[in-house]
Amino acid sequence: MYKQLQQRGAERPPVNVSTLAGMKSKGEKISCLTCYDASFAILVDEAGVDLVLVGDSLGMVIQGYDTTVPVTVDDIIYHSRAVSRTLVRPLLVADMPFMSYSTPEQALGNAVRMMQEGGAQMVKLEGGAGQVEVVRYLASHDIPLCAHLGLKPQSVHKIGGFKVQGRENEAAEAMRRDAKMLQDAGADIVLLECIPSELGAQIAKDLHVPVIGIGAGPDVDGQILVLYDILDITPGRKPRFVKNFMIEGGSPLGAMEAFCAAVKAGTYPAPEHCFS
């Protein structure tokens, strides 16, 4: 019944927002992977991953869509519930799908479902200045939050494809401002996708909350990749930041352990995984 208290003294207690904040202040890198089912959740946990995201990337890697746009709240809840049944130590984050947070009230209703029905401990939404009001509203209701900036895959049809963001000075400055506003509105984590490494480093320095990158260079507080990409399951051309960890890991668990070790040691991402 007092599981939270009993686990506090464990050798590796469950990760929460304070653990992540402490890791940032100590300079310990945060390792994160996506996960969509109970079997992989056991391995991801055993490998030592700190944060697990039930990403709407499941629309592409599980459901076979070309984008994340068709994914629904029910889809995320289904997969999050499966992951939550076997995950023990990592913090479980669930992605809010396209148009599931277009008003503060709608966002709160869906975030509550993801936490109560899906077992999520934090929700993630894509957004910049336009989402500040939603973030403030969720934070005022004590919903733990991750704000996703840079390349926002749910906006793919608006931005005209999956492309590096923040290369021009004006766009980079706007992203720095947005990141600060989202943090100040109550975001507990900021996630940056596909941006120049220098911009990733600046934002990580600007913020006191942890900054997790995917294609955002080595100088952020942690790294996340899509599980199926590190396991080399995804066929065809892959984004520049993807690394196949099966080569050094040799098995699914080995690949996850190799990813964690490389993130902690700062050897992933290497220059060939980064944007300038």
In angstroms, give the least distance from the CB of 4 to ligand KIV: 27
- As a whole number of angstroms, the distance between CA 206 and CA 201 comes to 9
In angstroms, give the least distance from the CB of 214 to ligand KIV: 5
**Is 55 a residue that touches ligand KIV (CB under 6 A)?**
yes
- Identify which of 202, 214, 220, 222 has the alpha carbon closest to the alpha carbon of residue 242: 214
3-state secondary structure of 20: helix
Contact 263, 31 (CB under 8 A): yes
Single out the segment in contact with ligand KIV by CB under 6 A; choices: 19-27, 52-60, 157-165, 260-268: 52-60
In angstroms, give the least distance from the CB of 22 to ligand KIV: 22
The values of phi and psi at residue 50, to 5°, are: -90, -35
Q: Which amino acid is at 56?
A: D
Could you tell me how many residues of this chain bind ligand KIV (CB under 6 A)?
10
Report which residue's Cβ sits closest to ligand KIV. 55
DSSP H or E run through 126 = strand 122-126
Nearer to ligand KIV, 191 or 230 (CB): 191
Active site residue 193: yes
R_g of the chain, CA atoms, integer Å: 17
25-28 contacts at long range (C-beta below 8 A, 24 or more positions apart): 28/264
**Is 224 a residue that touches ligand KIV (CB under 6 A)?**
yes
- As a whole number of angstroms, the distance between CA 259 and CA 141 comes to 35
Instruction: Show contacts with ligand KIV in window 77-136 (CB under 6 A).
Output: 95
Q: Which residues of 105-131 are buried (b: 16+ CB within 10 A; e: fewer)?
A: eebbebbebbbebbbbbbbbbbbbeeb
Nearer to ligand KIV, 34 or 110 (CB): 34
Single out the segment in contact with ligand KIV by CB under 6 A; choices: 37-45, 53-61, 79-87, 163-171: 53-61
**Is 214 a residue that touches ligand KIV (CB under 6 A)?**
yes
Residue 26's Cβ-side half-sphere holds a number of Cα atoms within 13 Å equal to 10
Catalytic residue among 28, 105, 193, 198: 193
Each residue 17-46 as x (binds ligand KIV by CB under 6 A) or -, in order, gives -----------------x------------
Nearer to ligand KIV, 3 or 152 (CB): 152
Catalytic residues: 193
Binding site for ligand KIV (CB under 6 A): 34, 53, 55-57, 95, 191, 214, 224, 226
